[in-house]
Amino acid sequence: MLRKWFKRLNRWLMIPMWRLGLGKPMNIWPSVGGRILVLAHTGRKSGYRRLTPLNYAPSPPSSVFVLAGFGARTDWYLNALTNPAVEVWLPDGRWLAEAIDVSDHPLRMAILRDVLIASGFAAPLAGVNPRRLSDQELDEKTADYRLIELQYRADASGTHGPGDLSWIWVAAAALWLMDRMRRR
């Protein structure tokens, strides 16, 4: 049920908000809404470009960590394993990256906790409170989670990125202005 809810929220709210150029404002209060990026990846079966919003924890200077919270059967995770060349949309830019499964990382628990804290309301909604659980409790609750590092490779460019639908704001403002002028 929760998985279905997140898929709908992502498809009908999160992706359109990013495409309308609102990625940065959506990240203004990370303790509540979480730190959110969009992962552009290639479908392993369809070959089509897919967009998935994910919570992340930065790993300076040139990577971020994300979680496949629904385990190894998560679609975007399987896509990234099949084709690790991905694009990352962050509030302050976008870049090409390589997705690497680091679920066996020696600092897994610390990184996992950072990403879960960066998820804002999402982790507690899923029954995982990273601020209150011990490492052992957190490890038990997240045993199926997959940890992925998105390593920077190059800056991204092109027309299909965050804000590609921001022209809608100009069109809406023009229509509103025309309506106001017509009513005078």
Domain coordinates of the chain in residue numbers? 2-183
* Single pTM value for the model: 0.87
The H or E element containing residue 30 is helix 30-33
Cα–Cα distance measured from residue 68 to residue 105, given in angstroms and rounded to the nearest whole number: 15
Q: Could you tell me which of 106, 35, 95, 21 has the C-alpha nearest to residue 66? A: 35
Cα–Cα distance measured from residue 176 to residue 62, given in angstroms and rounded to the nearest whole number: 43
Query: Considering only the top CATH level, what class is 2-183?
Result: mainly beta
Q: Which tokens in the block code for residue 144?
A: 């199926």
pLDDT values of the chain reduced to their tens digit, one per residue, 184 residues:
666 767 777 777 888 888 899 899 988 888 788 899 999 999 999 999 999 999 999 998 899 999 998 899 999 999 999 999 999 999 988 999 999 999 999 999 999 999 999 998 889 888 899 999 999 999 999 999 999 999 999 999 888 888 888 878 888 888 888 888 888 7
Cα–Cα distance measured from residue 114 to residue 104, given in angstroms and rounded to the nearest whole number: 16
